[in-house]
Amino acid sequence: MPQWDHFPSAGLATFLTLHDIHQATTEFTPPPNGHTTQHLPHAQNESPDTPVRRLIQDTRNKGYETICLPLTTEKWKERWEGMCLLPSSPIKEEPESADVDTKKKEIARAAELWRARPCFLPDEALQQELAYASYLSIHTVILPAPRNRSHVASYARIINNCLKNTPYLYLSVRLPIYNPTILHQAQAHTGSGLGLAVSPASTPALIVSPDPSTPSQSTQNGISPESEMNATWEMWDVIRSICDYNTRLTLTLDLTPPLPSKLGVLSKWAAESVRYIFLPASTFIANTKGYPVLPKPTQSFIRDSMIHRPTVILAEVTSDKHSRGGEAAYSQYIKFLEKTSAVVRNAQKEGTVEHFAQGYQDYLQAPLQPLMDNLQSITYQTFEQDPVKYERYEEAIFRALMEWPVEGRIVCCVAGAGRGPLVARCLNAVQRSGKEVFVYAVEKNPNAYVTLQQRKDREWGDKIKLLFGDMRSLDIPEPADILVSELLGSFGDNELSPECLDGAQRFLKPTGISIPSSYTSHLAPLSSSKLYNEARASKNAVESLETPYVVMFQAVNILSEDKLGCGAKIQECWEFEHPRRDGVMATVVVDERGLPLTNNHNVRSARLRFWIPHAGVLHGLAGYFEAVLYGNIGLSIHPHRKDQISKDMLSWFPLFFPFKEPLYLPSNSELQVSIWRLTNERQVWYEWHAESFLTVPLAPPGVKSDSDGTPTSGAQGQGWAASSPLSVPSPLADDDGFFSSSTTAGGNGGGASGSTGGEGSTIGTRRGSSSSGIRTPGRVNRSVTLPHVFGGGGVGGGASAGAGGGFEVVKIGHTSLHNPGGRSSWIGL
Amino acid sequence: MPQWDHFPSAGLATFLTLHDIHQATTEFTPPPNGHTTQHLPHAQNESPDTPVRRLIQDTRNKGYETICLPLTTEKWKERWEGMCLLPSSPIKEEPESADVDTKKKEIARAAELWRARPCFLPDEALQQELAYASYLSIHTVILPAPRNRSHVASYARIINNCLKNTPYLYLSVRLPIYNPTILHQAQAHTGSGLGLAVSPASTPALIVSPDPSTPSQSTQNGISPESEMNATWEMWDVIRSICDYNTRLTLTLDLTPPLPSKLGVLSKWAAESVRYIFLPASTFIANTKGYPVLPKPTQSFIRDSMIHRPTVILAEVTSDKHSRGGEAAYSQYIKFLEKTSAVVRNAQKEGTVEHFAQGYQDYLQAPLQPLMDNLQSITYQTFEQDPVKYERYEEAIFRALMEWPVEGRIVCCVAGAGRGPLVARCLNAVQRSGKEVFVYAVEKNPNAYVTLQQRKDREWGDKIKLLFGDMRSLDIPEPADILVSELLGSFGDNELSPECLDGAQRFLKPTGISIPSSYTSHLAPLSSSKLYNEARASKNAVESLETPYVVMFQAVNILSEDKLGCGAKIQECWEFEHPRRDGVMATVVVDERGLPLTNNHNVRSARLRFWIPHAGVLHGLAGYFEAVLYGNIGLSIHPHRKDQISKDMLSWFPLFFPFKEPLYLPSNSELQVSIWRLTNERQVWYEWHAESFLTVPLAPPGVKSDSDGTPTSGAQGQGWAASSPLSVPSPLADDDGFFSSSTTAGGNGGGASGSTGGEGSTIGTRRGSSSSGIRTPGRVNRSVTLPHVFGGGGVGGGASAGAGGGFEVVKIGHTSLHNPGGRSSWIGL
């Protein structure tokens, strides 16, 4: 599939059949100069010298960048099937006539002779074809889907072997977006087999499946709609896992089946390497004028997919399936979808994060360590370009000054002034407020301090005073009323803002305020083949999978969803507040300079419970932060809230906590994530771990039970919480026992704060603690007891009740503990 | 815990309480010489110079080898709790009186001051204690169990940290064998916490749980008996997984709870590193005479555990719980259990595999490669000691000669004669038969050939003719009637017997027979922390986890069990038959010397389905073989059949196929194992892979369903097999489609033979193909369709039916593909 040029988002390919090639051969007239054996590339205007080249030129003239050709002819298939396959009837089950037996032996002997020179096995037959494709400089070979779930492991093993044996070729497995039977039947009709070929387009007669969003129909077949939507993804998961996430293995998503109206179930494909989208003309419907258009769900799916820059393979486009528009109508329509795609528009619009991040999507960066390292000027420059962050800071400072309750001179201190952007914003706010304010600016980077001095001389004059030194050890001439800092990382505290502000708090008046006044860390479980591969591509894969990364997510899927009683899609881990009003700092013993003796009060831990509606593979955790600067002015990279709080802010991409081994999570499972923020005398680091759980029938089928089958939901619902000498605590239940108090909050109970449920949409309403001054209890129970999650027999409606004793939650898997002891940790203290 | 000497199987320890130490201190009189500060070890007869030493000497005199002492005093616990824990009421949930607030702050400040010099966190408090234990040269510290399932991850993270920070100390987690609530309540009563200590023995009042084998009672609590039995093991699994299978982390199994009468559920502990068994006097019951004895299930469990050489810790033995026997009765009883333990007796009895294998238990050996390597004389010698194998061979040859249908001279050929044991047995059989037989002996090892020539000169004379060379290329003077070989490996074909006999078959008459006439390979899923750790302990852990090993299993647990409709505990993979009567060799094209052109016909594959009744962690596959020598004389290392077929045969330990990542398998799950025997021009190797599945409610609780809840079991039962455009094939269903024929049998369909179900107990009845000459179909479907396994609503009795649409099987996990492309493969061709 030669690719001629780069198309902005979607590439366009056309699918040629053997019939097309045959026809081209019949109609072909050699060019006058008769150079039919010319094998060199020729100029665009030269006449093509072979029928296939003519076909390619025609295709290019129609606007396609890529062409898909079947590599296998019917003749080859026939020969291969004869050589490598036996007739499907079992051998010698019953005595056979000598004739049949002799014929079979003859075929088998012929096949064996053929395999012998050169010798190959059935999967090597595929290898022969791939070797030929490689010889022809074909870039990618698209393979037909496995025909049967039970043989996927064998299919995958062969693909893996082929990837090893053809080192440059890309292989793409063509899979229907769900419901593989459709494609299988199509293949059966056309006789396509394992052989190398783009499998033929389905004929319209086969696309008869009703709307899959109607569950009752498929439930009749004993398979839930969820499983049905999941079936081909699960095949893909086996294939790419057995192929160890080989980067030369991609997916060709076949959009022949009509898509469900709810696309959520399809979001998992965003986390996979979908390189091609196969779209036959039969998938199009006719609009009122007779032109081909796509059904709404397929439209949406393709628009959303544009962000991954797929190549759309149009098939059957010359077969006049629609009355108007001709062949060109199909590709024009795809280009229309591209132009009207919100993700494409966003990426093209200046000032958006998507535009700013071009080229950085899914690229792993080590988080900055501004406390340990002195940043370069260019790093400051990059972040100073943020159009939103500094505006938010200025607004916060302005409001704080306007609402300042005491008359007279106000002392402001910018802690960590860098090259001065916050100082400048601070002075703007002062000017706007009309108040009498004196500003101190503290900076420990001697190089940035040069710039600061220049700016003071040129711009600021004696409105401010510069102070050189680390805010944790420096003394300032007078205590401040307002402490302004921006020491935040993608996960809030990961650039050691809490530790730095512990030091800076020394020079804040008891009545003073900090901007930011608090920040929270948030997590969500994430799937991404891309990020998994990127993280382990490093030389030291073990260590690189123990380190969090800053990443602009693109080919990722957040696996969780909101669920009543379980928790939100994205959940809060913990919070830091400045100045500490939670009683913690009151108990922290400080030395003669006012610095804490230990960093114990900055230890945090959280245990979060996520609902996983659709099967997926966990590759890591997405980390976000949200900060309250002042009042209801904040900064947020929380996906659901950032647009309301700090739209188009560029300074932070999310954090990615990788897992070493991918963890398979079935549909409707629950994931428990534990994460710790730990510290010793020299370091601060995170450790993380996950366990998965699934609801199963309490009395499993096939296991005898004393129950008479009467639904006893009420008793079971209570059973989870009941405690008797015989009852084991539910694996998910929580209590306020000894252990929680010793690990949750680093000894003071103030650590693991916040609650998982009910994240509101504005900062003001959400953070009740900020306005009322009364914090939520330090050891608030993050976990709900079990009946609220999966329920006993009585939860989830009558339909699911009473299975001989209801349901229980069983553990089904877990990850390793990550980053134990703090490898690659931030050295900050 | 100093260990004085080595006890044959179980070690004995006594558990001393703080009260014991206090009493010893009160009663202590310093020895006349007054050397109370003597710190050096002293001779046995010298008087002890401290109360604790006196106590230790007394204990040793009573026959204990090990002593357990609490390291923590109540005073220390109090201080630690004050320092590291906050009062359990939430902070500032409601405004508190200034007094209470001030007091809390005071405590917290004191704690913080104390942490600061030296600074430590709550888990570092434990570390302080462990460091002190290490300073005292304590070998092992036993830790109390985590109190709550939901905090196990935090508990484990701290243990992991402690293991890293105290490099020589062993840590042992004391866990009740099931039902952790018993122990928790005991701890709550005595106030024992996380602190370093052997947690106190439970008081008898707490052991009130009824027989856990009665499921109805626990089902009332919403937790299945299976989950209850599983709960502490699951905790242990999290702990040792988070600690990355650290070899210094062991288990102390607390036998305080009464054991269930069915011990199968406890077999999982055999796969874990149980180092200590904690046995309080309260677990003992009084026999009719008033002496302490153990309940039958506990007796059995301890007898079986003896093979793992645990140390039994006796507690409360001085508390006069039983009227007769005094303290000594308890340890005498344990010694009695040891002497009457079948596993101990077996290991001590000469001639058993267990005795022969002393020192080789769980030791990983690379399989022999006798075709590639020329074996050493000592290797031959080891295997020639087998008392059973050669006897079986002689008997097989004798019977073959006696039943030989044609009168006159019989030609016998021993292919692979080694140092001659089979030749000698062959000549014995000839003599016993009284027939006229000439024997050829073929050997390719030039060194062994020296021995053969000596034996011919000294023993055999001209009854035989020696031929030097590889049986695959050699020509012999006349064709043979009987071909005798012993080229078998632990997995049957893994020492390349099929490939070698392909060559030797050239000189077998068309009517001739081979001894062995066939052999089969068998697999079972296995759990073993020990073997997992051994396999990855190698320098190149990645490669070492891709290679099968020969191992005498001991600390292992086979995870599967027989289940009607699913498959046996141990299942057959494939079979090789000699001479090939299955029509395969008829189609194999041979060269001018009669050798096959390709090795394609020796490719095999199998997909097996195992039922996993109890949760466990899959670490690998156990491989066995069974061979039919002649008629119903055979060799077998199949655990269920070896004693009937070739009892006390020593030559083969099983094969262990490791998995790189442990795979968690929940109770009542299904495991699908795929395994392939693959070949190219130079190599033969295996690849293996596994996937796990679990039954879940079809309409999961919390998900809306259109179903009215009416049980529709009939329809669902059919649904699994039904095929409509909307129905996805069940993930476990099989068919005879395209793909199975291309991968199952290497192109000829004769490969994957045999069936999983109904393994009989004798070779004759089992192997119908041997007697009737009609083989089972080559592509027999190894998998049963789904309703037979987990069933729709209708299977498994009325109790489990009708949960709003029955159940469906969902995938929950998988391993990597192992050994792709044949790393560390046998180079044989």
**What is each CA distance from A61 to A55, A66, A280, B619, in whole angstroms?**
10, 12, 20, 58
For residue B283, give the nearest of B298, B301, B266, B305 by alpha carbon: B298
Q: Is the pLDDT reported for residue B180 higher than 90?
A: no
Q: Does B98 touch chain A (CB under 8 A)?
A: no
Q: What is the mean pLDDT of residues B163-180?
A: 86
Structure tokens at A206: 């086969």
CB A794 within 8 A of CB A801: yes
CB B775 within 8 A of CB B582: yes
Nearest to A227 among B227, B728, B733 (CB): B728
Known binding residue A380? Answer is yes
Active site residue A495: yes
Contacts of A179 in chain B (CB under 8 A): 725-726, 728
Q: Does B567 touch chain A (CB under 8 A)?
A: no
Question: pLDDT for A305-348, tens place per residue?
Answer: 998 889 999 998 888 889 888 999 999 999 999 999 998 888 88
Angle between helix B446-455 and B421-433 (nearest 10)? 40
Q: Is the pLDDT reported for residue B453 higher than 80?
A: yes
Give Cβ neighbours of residue B139 (< 8 Å, ≥ 6 apart).
Answer: B1, B2, B3, B169, B170
Give Cβ neighbours of residue B45 (< 8 Å, ≥ 6 apart).
Answer: none
pLDDT of residue B359: 85
Give Cβ neighbours of residue B588 (< 8 Å, ≥ 6 apart).
Answer: A112, B580, B596, B597, B601
Q: Which stretches of chain A score pLDDT less than 50?
A: 1-7, 34-44, 87-94, 118-120, 182-221, 700-803
Using the CB atoms, write b or e for A704-738: b if 16+ within 10 Å. ebebebebbbebbbebbbeeeebbbbbbbbbbebb
Structure tokens at B137: 């040269």
Q: Which amino acid, B424?
A: A
The alpha carbon dihedral of B526, B528, B531, B537 has a sign of positive
pLDDT of residue A258: 84
pLDDT of residue B642: 95
Contact: A701, B707; criterion CB under 8 Å: no
Q: Which amino acid, A60?
A: R
B216 to chain A: nearest residue by CA? Answer: A706
Chain B interface, best mutation among A94, A112, A685, by max B CB count within 10 A: A112
Structure tokens at A100: 């049949």
Q: In B, residues 723-762, which contact A (CB 8 Å cutoff)?
A: 723-744, 746-750
How close does chain A come to B320, measured CA to CA in Å? 26
Give dist(CA B769, CA B751) in Å, integer. 15
Give dist(CA B262, CA A661) in Å, integer. 36
| DSSP state letter for B786 | G
Q: How confident is the model at residue B4 (pLDDT cuts 50, 70, 90)?
A: very low
Question: pLDDT for B593-621, tens place per residue?
Answer: 778 888 888 999 999 999 999 999 999 99
pLDDT of residue B123: 55
Q: Which amino acid, A622?
A: A
Q: Give the rounded percent of residues in chain B with a pLDDT score beyond 90.
A: 45
For residue A656, give the nearest of A518, A507, A552, A533 by alpha carbon: A552
Q: Mean pLDDT check: name the lowest of B257-261, B689-693, B825-829.
A: B825-829
Helix (H, G, I), strand (E, B), or coil: what is residue B275?
A: strand
Give dist(CA B157, CA B152) in Å, integer. 8
Question: pLDDT for B394-431, tens place per residue?
Answer: 999 999 999 999 999 999 999 999 999 999 999 999 99
H-run or E-run covering A583: none
Q: How many CB atoms lie within 10 A of CB B224?
A: 25
Q: Does B446 touch chain A (CB under 8 A)?
A: no
Helices (H), A181-295: 181-190, 215-219, 225-242
State yes or no: cis peptide before B579, omega within 30 of 0: yes
Give dist(CA A302, CA A310) in Å, integer. 9
Q: How many CB atoms lie within 10 A of CB B724?
A: 14
**What is each CA distance from B190 to B84, B85, B201, B321, in whole angstroms?**
19, 17, 10, 19
One of A495, A572, A687, A808 is an active-site residue; which one? A495
For residue B656, give the nearest of B307, B363, B382 by alpha carbon: B363
Using the CB atoms, write b or e for B393-431: b if 16+ within 10 Å. bbbbbbbbbeebeeeeebbbbbbbbbbbbbbbbbbbbbe
Give Cβ neighbours of residue A101 (< 8 Å, ≥ 6 apart).
Answer: none
Q: Please identify every residue of B annotated as catalytic.
A: 486, 495
Strand stretches in B240-297, DSSP E:
249-254, 274-280, 285-286, 292-293
How close does chain B come to A122, measured CA to CA in Å? 6
Q: How confident is the model at residue B542 (pLDDT cuts 50, 70, 90)?
A: confident
Strand stretches in B631-681, DSSP E:
633-636, 655-665, 669-679
Q: Does A777 touch chain B (CB under 8 A)?
A: yes
Q: How confident is the model at residue B115 (pLDDT cuts 50, 70, 90)?
A: low
Write the secondary structure of A16-33 as one string of H (helix), E (strand) and C (coil).
Answer: CCHHHHHHHHHHCCCCCC
Helix (H, G, I), strand (E, B), or coil: what is residue B271?
A: helix
Helices (H), B139-180: 152-165
Phi, psi of B258 (to 5 degrees): -65, 140
How close does chain A come to B87, measured CA to CA in Å? 9
Q: How confident is the model at residue B699 (pLDDT cuts 50, 70, 90)?
A: low
Q: What is the ipTM of this complex?
A: 0.79
Rg (CA), chain B: 32
Phi, psi of A526 (to 5 degrees): -130, 145
Known binding residue A390? Answer is yes
How close does chain A come to B134, measured CA to CA in Å? 20
The whole model's pTM is what? 0.81
pLDDT of residue B89: 43
Q: Is the pLDDT reported for residue B191 higher than 80?
A: no
Q: How confident is the model at residue B245 (pLDDT cuts 50, 70, 90)?
A: very high
Q: Does B777 touch chain A (CB under 8 A)?
A: yes
Q: Mean pLDDT check: name the lowest of A675-679, B335-339, B514-518, B780-784.
A: B780-784
CA dihedral B257, B260, B266, B267 (to 10 degrees): 140
Nearest to A737 among B148, B226, B820 (CB): B148
Region for A244 from its dihedrals, namely left if φ exceeds 0, alpha if ψ lies in -120 to 50, beta otherwise: left
- A to B CB pairs, distance under 8 Å: 610
Give Cβ neighbours of residue A509 (< 8 Å, ≥ 6 apart).
Answer: A411, A479, A480, A481
For residue A516, give the nearest of A602, A626, A398 by alpha carbon: A626
pLDDT of residue B718: 31
pLDDT of residue A86: 54
pLDDT of residue B778: 34
Q: In A, residues 228-247, which contact B (CB 8 Å cutoff)?
A: 228, 231, 234, 238, 241-244
- Environment class of residue A117 by beta-carbon count within 10 Å: exposed (0-12), middle (13-18) or buried (19+)? exposed
For residue A397, give the nearest of A484, A465, A459, A462 by alpha carbon: A484
Give dist(CA A558, CA A245) in Å, integer. 19
Q: In A, residues 652-671, which contact B (CB 8 Å cutoff)?
A: 661, 663-664, 666-668
Known binding residue A262? Answer is no
Give dist(CA B32, CA B781) in Å, integer. 84
Question: pLDDT for B480-507, tens place per residue?
Answer: 999 999 999 999 999 999 999 999 999 9
Q: Is the pLDDT reported for residue B818 higher than 80?
A: yes
Question: pLDDT for A645-656, tens place per residue?
Answer: 999 999 999 999
How close does chain A come to B307, measured CA to CA in Å? 30
Adjacent-strand bridge partners of A197: none
Strand A518-527, strand A571-577: pairing = antiparallel
Residue set of the binding site of B for S-adenosyl-L-methionine: 380, 389-390, 443, 470-471
| DSSP state letter for B458 | I
Phi, psi of B92 (to 5 degrees): 55, 20
pLDDT of residue A494: 94
Mean pLDDT score of chain B: 77
Nearest to B749 among A91, A149, A728 (CB): A91
